[in-house]
């Protein structure tokens, strides 16, 4: 059996746009500038939708922030969609760091704390999803100045902009190629060939669901009941 031996399939946005237009009956030679303006907008709108749908594993990274004594609030990068697992890492001398998970609280719960300036080892955080000037994360208790303390958190970041310049690639993995192409086909059909849109939406949803089923961590999960004794009076 003869095969390519390569794993390089990664078409640029321009190629995917041409494919999507062909799916709705528009030949590449019939396309004008307005078609490509629509395609760029549709592709970025779809990536924004995907960020709302759930955690895109390929867009998760780890952020490290040095803690400052008495400082409760720290800036979060503007392209952060949401914060995931968050912990305090303490480094003491040459020993290995000690990590302790901290839990998220809502705005309401944070507002209920009577002493927001109380210092100690942080156990909770409140992620304030602002857009100007930046989102912030507020810790409680406020860091007390223990040397070598860092806030570390995994975050879902915004997917990079989708551009047609120089046939740039879309920031998606191989397993999401079909979902992106089918989704873009549906969105362009709504503009340029509406009579096909209803049928294409079903195909786009199916491709998305198939890809989403693989976009999960494969760690085992165990659920067991808590068995407690009880006594009758």
Tens of pLDDT along the chain (233 residues)?
Answer: 889 999 999 999 999 999 999 999 999 999 999 999 999 999 999 999 999 998 899 999 999 999 999 999 999 999 999 999 999 999 887 778 899 999 999 999 999 999 999 999 999 999 999 998 999 999 999 999 877 899 999 999 999 999 999 989 999 999 999 999 999 999 999 999 999 999 999 999 999 999 999 998 877 666 666 555 544 55
Same domain, 46 and 121: no
> What confidence score (pLDDT) does residue 218 get?
78
Residue 210 lies in a domain: yes
Same domain, 107 and 145: yes
Same domain, 46 and 104: no
Same domain, 169 and 203: yes
Same domain, 104 and 178: no
> What confidence score (pLDDT) does residue 225 get?
67
Residue 103 lies in a domain: yes
What is the average pLDDT value for the chain, to the nearest integer? 93
Residues 151 and 65 sit within 8 Å (Cβ to Cβ):
yes
Number of domains forming the structure of the chain? 2
Place of tokens 């989704």: 183
Same domain, 21 and 111: no
Q: In terms of Cα–Cα distance, which of 176, 172, 138, 137 is closest to 155? A: 137
Residue 146 lies in a domain: yes
Same domain, 124 and 152: yes
Largest distance between two CA atoms of the chain? 85
What is the distance of C-alpha 104 from the center of its chain?
17
Same domain, 164 and 147: no
Domain region containing 206: 13-55+160-214
Say how far apart CA 212 and CA 223 lie, in whole Å. Answer: 23
CA distances in angstroms from 41 to 18, 52, 161, 171, 188, listed in the order given: 15, 17, 10, 15, 10
Residue 75 lies in a domain: yes
Instruction: Write b or e for each residue in 80-114: b if 16 or more Cβ atoms lie within 10 A of its Cβ, otherwise e.
Output: bbebeebbbebeeeeeeeeeeebebbeeeebeeee
Same domain, 151 and 65: yes
Residue 3 lies in a domain: no
Please give the full DSSP string across 26-81, using - where no structure is assigned.
Answer: --GGG--HHHHHHHHHHHHHHHHHHHHHS--GGGEEEEEEE--TT--EEE--TTEE
Residue 122 lies in a domain: yes
Same domain, 150 and 70: yes
Asked if the peptide bond before residue 179 counts as cis, ω within 30 degrees of 0, the response is no
Tokens of 84: 């995931």
Same domain, 196 and 144: no
Residue 87 lies in a domain: yes
171: CB partners within 8 A, 6+ apart: 47, 58, 59, 159, 160, 162
Place of tokens 């760690």: 219
DSSP element (H, E) containing 154: strand 149-157
- Residue 71 pairs with which residues in a beta bridge? none
> What confidence score (pLDDT) does residue 224 get?
62
Same domain, 41 and 104: no
**pLDDT tens track for 71-90:** 999 999 999 999 999 999 99
Say how far apart CA 74 and CA 150 lie, in whole Å. Answer: 12
């Amino acid at each position: 059996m003869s095969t390519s031996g390569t794993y390089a399939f990664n078409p640029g946005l321009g190629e995917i746009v041409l494919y999507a237009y062909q799916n709705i009956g528009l030949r590449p030679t019939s396309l004008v500038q307005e078609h490509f303006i629509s395609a760029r907008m549709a592709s970025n709108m779809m990536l924004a939708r995907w960020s709302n749908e759930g955690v895109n594993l390929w867009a998760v990274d780890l952020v490290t922030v040095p803690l400052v004594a008495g400082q409760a609030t720290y800036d979060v990068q503007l392209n952060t969609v949401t914060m995931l697992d968050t912990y305090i890492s303490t480094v003491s001398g040459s020993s290995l760091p000690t990590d302790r998970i901290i839990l998220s609280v809502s705005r309401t719960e944070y507002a209920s704390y009577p002493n927001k300036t109380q210092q100690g080892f942080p156990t909770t955080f409140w992620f304030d999803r602002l857009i100007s000037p930046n989102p912030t994360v507020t810790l409680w208790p406020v860091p007390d100045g223990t040397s070598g303390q860092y806030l570390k958190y995994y975050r879902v970041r915004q997917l990079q902009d989708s551009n047609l310049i120089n046939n740039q690639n879309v920031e998606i993995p191989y397993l999401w190629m079909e979902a992106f192409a089918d989704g873009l086909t549906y969105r362009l059909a709504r503009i340029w060939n509406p009579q096909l849109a209803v049928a294409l939406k079903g195909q786009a949803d199916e491709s998305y669901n198939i890809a989403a089923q693989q976009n999960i961590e494969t760690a085992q999960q165990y659920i067991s009941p808590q068995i407690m004794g009880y006594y009758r009076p």
